[in-house]
């Protein structure tokens, strides 16, 4: 019996393997990981782990032994070089060719890098190896009193900036646009985050077009911007986004568009192949292309993908959620705020401890919360249940949002 | 090393042998204990590693943080006096044999 093969042993890949077992699939499962490490959680790499550097085994999504106990054949350090859809097989870098009964692609994404020759001291943050190398570079910077320059004021860049400040580094963030996290949050949230970072001593530079990196003997020494300014750097973190890892799928002729195109059930354009997680994109009914890069998406799409491999439909309909930790501020987001026409805030903007409620045509579509965990958790329930507080209710601190979830409110 | 005695919603019991510096959630995930999801990997962002600490033992644990208390307001299963997020529970020898119950659902 040919196995179900899963390419990529990250969050989505592990979820598919485990969901297959939960759904009582008893056939062989081959889970192929490109890295040397067993499956691990990536979110702490730019946050808690980078600061504390505890035992990497504590990052495990599951231990390798626990996965193998469920008769999931996990193979690490295993690179897939091609998918042969006609033969229902995959080719591996070690020369093997393996046939599949069903195939799942969970190859994730890779860090977008700057053009130019590679220099030591320049990091993306995606893998455990990246984070380990960056943590070592932090120590060097501390010893030499050399600054960290972060290129990109998005989630990864800001999380690394916060961690570096906690470690005592001088930090400069160069953002290409006029505010932080502009792709995802409203200006009011960007501004609050900027105040927090400045309060912690980060130098934020906006509208900075990076022209290139300057190196001495192969080691980065400065970042040059279009204005001709050079920012000295002991090390550099590039946080300008990721590129969905869809090269195998593209080469195999699967439909791709900034990621492997999947439907709500995680099915690709080949009936034997599903895909889940950061490597995917979805075309919505209104024509927009939806790309989600999050743990929640990897897990939910993974569950959908496992069901699809077994011929069942389990569409991913939950409202997407995300989070970021910067200093003691917990930024939590639920829903997609794109296209909002009204924002209502609730809480204390200065502290900051507030939520931004995004409305479109008086209907709640998303909520961003800064250190307002209760708001976030309630917002997830409201949005999942298709409930929308009136803008006036959201604005009224005395109004109890939870009351909308009680049966009497229906 | 201290042990944690986990009983799931069906009454099945598993003993976790703890490791120094590991949270109960991390051990539970490593040992693939059913019923603990830990979607966020211990970042206090998901409330899917909810457990019930035995009422006789709960006062011996360091109290939950304000963030954890807020997350606990939104757990999927019933919230009880012993409700905690297992990612926030670290124990030493003095809590050897800590009994916890795993709720019937996390989402």
User: Residues B50-54: what's their mean pLDDT?
Assistant: 97
Given pLDDT bands bounded at 50, 70 and 90, which one contains residue B74?
A: confident
Q: Is B61 on the interface with A (CB under 8 A)?
A: no
Q: What is the mean pLDDT of chain A?
A: 95
User: Does A156 share its domain with A213?
Assistant: yes
User: Does A91 share its domain with A203?
Assistant: no
Q: What is the pLDDT of residue A255?
A: 98
User: Does A127 share its domain with A168?
Assistant: yes
In angstroms, what CA-CA distances link A367 with A52, A282, A328, A377, A394?
31, 22, 19, 10, 11
A407 pLDDT higher than 80: no
Given pLDDT bands bounded at 50, 70 and 90, which one contains residue B43?
A: confident
User: Does A117 share its domain with A233?
Assistant: yes
Q: Per the domain annotation, does A317 fall within a domain? A: no
Q: Per the domain annotation, does A51 fall within a domain? A: no
Q: Name the β-bridge partners of A219.
A: A120, A216
User: Does A93 share its domain with A137?
Assistant: no
- For an interface test with A, the pick among B16, B43, B50, B79 (most A C-beta atoms closer than 10 Å) comes out as B43
User: Does A251 share its domain with A106?
Assistant: yes
CB contact under 8 A, A43 and B31: no
Q: Tell me the shortest Cα–Cα distance from A232 to chain B, in angstroms.
A: 33
Which position has the token pair 């550097």? Answer: A53
Q: Per the domain annotation, does A278 fall within a domain? A: yes
Going by the DSSP 8-state scheme, the letter that residue A78 receives in this structure is: -
What is B3-101's CATH number, 3.50.50.60, 3.40.50.2300, 3.90.78.10, 3.10.20.30? Answer: 3.10.20.30
User: Does A206 share its domain with A271?
Assistant: no
Among B21, B41, B73, whose Cβ lies nearest the Cβ of A55? Answer: B21
Among A66, A296, A299, whose Cβ lies nearest the Cβ of B31? Answer: A66
Cα separation, B60 vs B58, whole angstroms: 5
CB contact under 8 A, B43 and A66: no
A409 pLDDT higher than 60: no
Q: Is B40 on the interface with A (CB under 8 A)?
A: yes
CATH label of the domain that carries residue A174: 3.50.50.60
pLDDT digits (tens, 9 = 90+) for A280-293: 999 988 889 999 99
Q: Per the domain annotation, does A217 fall within a domain? A: yes
CATH label of the domain that carries residue A358: 3.30.390.30
User: Residues A206-225: what's their mean pLDDT?
Assistant: 96
Q: What is the pLDDT of residue B34?
A: 84
Q: Tell me the shortest Cα–Cα distance from B32 to chain A, in angstroms.
A: 6
Question: Cβ of A202: how many Cβ atoms within 10 Å?
Answer: 24
Among B30, B41, B47, whose Cβ lies nearest the Cβ of A43? Answer: B41
Instruction: Enumerate the residues of chain B whose CB falls inside 8 A of the CB of residue A19.
Output: none
A410 pLDDT higher than 70: no
pLDDT digits (tens, 9 = 90+) for A103-143: 999 999 999 999 888 999 999 999 999 999 999 999 999 99
Q: Is B1 on the interface with A (CB under 8 A)?
A: no
User: Does A367 share its domain with A259?
Assistant: no
Identify the domain boundary among A281, A309, A337: A309
For CA atoms B18, B19, B22, B28, the dihedral sign is negative
Q: Is B10 on the interface with A (CB under 8 A)?
A: no
3-state secondary structure of B12: coil
Given pLDDT bands bounded at 50, 70 and 90, which one contains residue A270?
A: very high
User: Residues A319-347: what's their mean pLDDT?
Assistant: 95
User: Does A105 share its domain with A249?
Assistant: yes
Q: What is the pLDDT of residue A96?
A: 97
Give the residue from chain A lying closest to B72, CA to CA.
Answer: A374
Give the residue from chain A lying closest to B22, CA to CA.
Answer: A58
Given pLDDT bands bounded at 50, 70 and 90, which one contains residue A408?
A: low
User: Residues B13-36: what's their mean pLDDT?
Assistant: 91
Residue A179: give the domain boundaries.
Answer: 113-238
Residues 6 or more apart whose CB falls under 8 angstroms from that of A122 comprise A114, A213, A220, A235, A236, A238
User: Residues B9-28: what's their mean pLDDT?
Assistant: 93
- For an interface test with B, the pick among A41, A72, A301, A373 (most B C-beta atoms closer than 10 Å) comes out as A373
Give the residue from chain A lying closest to B40, CA to CA.
Answer: A295
Cα separation, B8 vs A336, whole angstroms: 36
Among B31, B32, B40, whose Cβ lies nearest the Cβ of A43? Answer: B40
User: Does A106 share its domain with A249?
Assistant: yes
CB contact under 8 A, B41 and A44: yes
Instruction: Enumerate the residues of chain B whose CB falls inside 8 A of the CB of residue A67.
Output: 32
Given pLDDT bands bounded at 50, 70 and 90, which one contains residue A227?
A: confident
| Strand positions, DSSP E, A62-191 | 72-75, 80-84, 89-92, 97-99, 102-105, 109-111, 122-123, 148-151, 171-174
Q: What is the pLDDT of residue B42?
A: 87
Identify the domain boundary among A275, A309, A343: A309
User: Please, are residues A179 and A206 in contact by the beta-carbon 8 Å criterion?
Assistant: yes
User: Does A135 share its domain with A197?
Assistant: yes
User: The complex's ipTM?
Assistant: 0.84
Given pLDDT bands bounded at 50, 70 and 90, which one contains residue B80?
A: very high
Question: Cβ of A400: how many Cβ atoms within 10 Å?
Answer: 13
Q: Per the domain annotation, does A321 fall within a domain? A: no
Q: Per the domain annotation, does A316 fall within a domain? A: no
pTM: 0.93
If one counts the domains in chain A, the total is 3
User: Does A204 share its domain with A293?
Assistant: no
pLDDT digits (tens, 9 = 90+) for A180-202: 999 999 999 999 999 999 999 99
Helix (H) or strand (E) holding A367: strand A363-370
């Amino acid at each position: 019996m040919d196995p179900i093969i899963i390419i990529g042993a990250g969050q989505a890949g592990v979820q598919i393997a485990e969901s297959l077992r939960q759904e009582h699939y008893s056939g062989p499962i081959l889970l192929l990981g490109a890295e040397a490490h067993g499956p691990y959680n990536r979110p702490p790499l730019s946050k808690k782990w980078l600061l504390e550097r505890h035992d990497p085994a504590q990052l495990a999504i599951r231990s390798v032994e626990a996965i193998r106990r469920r008769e999931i054949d996990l193979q690490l350090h295993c690179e897939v070089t091609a998918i042969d859809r006609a033969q229902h097989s995959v080719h591996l870098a070690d020369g093997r060719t393996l046939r599949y009964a069903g195939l799942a692609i969970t190859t994730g994404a890779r860090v977008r890098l700057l053009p130019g020759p590679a220099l030591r001291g320049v990091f993306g943050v995606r893998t455990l190896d990246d984070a380990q190398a960056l943590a070592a570079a932090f120590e060097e910077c501390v010893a030499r009193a050399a600054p960290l320059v972060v290129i990109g004021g998005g989630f990864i860049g800001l999380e690394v900036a916060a961690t570096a400040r906690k470690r005592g580094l001088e930090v400069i963030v160069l953002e290409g646009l006029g505010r932080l996290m502009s792709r995802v949050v409203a200006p009011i949230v960007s501004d609050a985050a900027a105040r927090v970072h400045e309060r912690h001593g980060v130098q934020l530079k906006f509208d900075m077009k990076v022209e290139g990196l300057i190196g001495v003997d192969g080691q980065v020494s400065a970042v040059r911007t279009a204005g001709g300014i050079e920012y000295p750097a002991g090390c550099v973190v590039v946080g300008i986004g990721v590129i969905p890892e869809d090269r195998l799928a593209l080469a195999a002729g699967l439909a791709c568009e900034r990621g492997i195109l999947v439907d709500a059930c995680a099915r690709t354009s080949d009936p034997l192949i599903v895909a889940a997680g950061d490597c995917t994109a979805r075309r919505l009914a209104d024509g927009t292309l939806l790309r989600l890069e999050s743990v929640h998406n990897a897990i939910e799409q993974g569950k959908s993908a496992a069901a699809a491999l077994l011929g069942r439909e389990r569409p991913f309909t939950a409202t997407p959620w995300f989070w970021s930790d910067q200093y003691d501020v917990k930024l939590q987001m639920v829903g997609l705020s794109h296209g909002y026409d009204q924002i209502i805030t609730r809480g204390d903007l200065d502290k900051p401890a507030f939520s931004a409620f995004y409305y479109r045509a008086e209907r709640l579509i998303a909520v961003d919360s800064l250190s307002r965990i209760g708001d976030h958790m309630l917002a997830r329930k409201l949005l999942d249940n298709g409930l929308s507080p009136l803008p006036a209710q959201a604005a009224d601190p005395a109004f109890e949002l939870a009351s909308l979830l009680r049966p009497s409110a229906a | 090393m201290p042990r944690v005695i986990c009983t799931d919603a069906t009454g099945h019991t598993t003993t976790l042998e703890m490791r120094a510096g590991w949270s109960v959630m991390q051990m539970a995930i490593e040992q693939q204990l059913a019923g603990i999801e830990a979607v966020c990997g211990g970042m206090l962002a998901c409330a899917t590693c909810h457990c019930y600490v035995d009422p006789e033992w709960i006062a011996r644990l360091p109290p939950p943080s304000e963030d954890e208390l807020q997350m606990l307001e939104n757990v999927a299963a019933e919230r009880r006096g012993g409700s905690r997020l297992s990612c926030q529970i670290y124990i030493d020898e003095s809590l050897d044999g800590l009994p916890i119950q795993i709720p019937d659902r996390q989402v």
